[in-house]
Copies of this chain bind each other. A is one copy, B any other.
């Protein structure tokens, strides 16, 4: 394909969908991808650039001339343009913007760059159709015609008053089905579901999901309509969020992908592994402390992994349920106190079952003394209660301090649980076995 056959590339690419071409370019090296983009016309190249992986995007935009990049950005929606520009340094960014042809677009972009990337303002685009409530259907259609070039997908048309304040929305379907001289004021729906510019993107996603919206208007503090967010951006937000949660739970400290370099992946994994190792070494300290007792009843050592593993599993289970509830942001009917009691009761049930099971196996299968079985069983019971308590409380605390609560299921808390579990285990053993 890469035999410099410009005409062939151009023809074959122009029939294809931009997402498919982007997937193809992801496979090529940077020079080849850049070459292909330069052969294509600007509008198609802009669409493809938006669809690329962030890593590839970065490589390509940093090796393009600023005028060349500006020509592509002229063909992008303002929100996509801002995503691209946010990857550049401040000076380069300004230089690229100064090369833009469309003055309206550069004003939009400068406006959007002011918002936090993770807020509704950072997600929204300036391209949308709005209609004054006093317009007729014909006037609105003319506005649609005027904006047809800029606004690729129209979902709802937002209705505003003379001061540009959001009043509601009217669907294209409604426009088509109404007589030409109908006033917009008579046909629009006045449900004002909108989000303020400063709302966090996760909350926007949750609202759009709850109300089944494919686009949502964004308003400023004066309820003035300033932009709209479309569902395709929200899908990316949801996907990012679930990846972040899983990474937090599995202790990857950095956003890595399997295709990254060996050292980058190794580096992303090391911090949490080191924390685990330090925890393990502290655990060694705890066991050392009980070495005399251990020397007398060597069989105690055999059940260390059992106690540690159960503590870890219980902790992760409890925290994941809490994290899930926190993420769903459903109205909390339970107070923290009620949740604590409930968690305690669940742990009680599981603790009794597991403790009893372990007692039975230790006494009847492993043929240890009864008091030894009671020791292991009771230790299990205490560890289940403790780990469940930690697993419930930690994510709630983390959430209150604004930290992603999914971390609570990660190695840090698991390690802390392990240490507490060990201390409890040996404590119980010392007491019951008189060591």
Contact = CB atoms under 8 A, between A and B. Distances in A.
Interface of A: 17, 19, 23, 27, 141, 144-145, 148, 153-155, 171-173, 175-177, 191, 193, 208-212, 214, 231-232, 234-236, 238-239, 242-243, 245-247, 249-252, 256-259, 262-263, 265-266, 269-270, 272-274, 276-277, 279-281, 283-285, 287-288, 291, 294-295, 298-299, 301-310, 312-314, 316-317, 319-325, 330-331, 333-334, 339, 342, 345-346, 349-350, 353-354, 357-358, 361-362, 365-366, 380, 409, 411, 414-415, 418, 422
A130 to B, nearest CB: 15
Given A294-B301, A298-B294, A239 B209 contact: yes
Main secondary structure of the interface of A (DSSP, over half): helix
Nearest to A145: B177
Given A256-B321, A266-B346, 9 more contacts: A17-B191, A209-B235, A214-B214, A234-B235, A245-B246, A257-B324, A258-B334, A265-B321, A277-B357
Given A214-B214, A238-B238, A317-B273, A331 B258 contact: no
Contacts of A317: 250-252, 269, 272-273
A309 B214 contact: no
A309 B415 contact: yes
Contacts of A247: 320
Most buried by B among A232, A257, A305, A342: A305
Contacts of A312: 309, 312, 414
A146 to B, nearest CB: 11
B322 A306 contact: no
Nearest to A326: B258
Contact of A350 (B242, B245, B266, B339): B266
Contact of A280 (B299, B310, B353): B310
A20 to B, nearest CB: 9
Contacts of A23: 210, 330-331
A137 to B, nearest CB: 10
A19 B191 CA distance: 12
A277 B172 contact: no
A175 to B, nearest CB: 7
A354 B269 CA distance: 11
A243 to B, nearest CB: 6
B280 A305 contact: yes
Contacts of A299: 288, 291
Nearest to A260: B321
A334 B265 CA distance: 16
B316 A250 contact: yes
A44 to B, nearest CB: 14
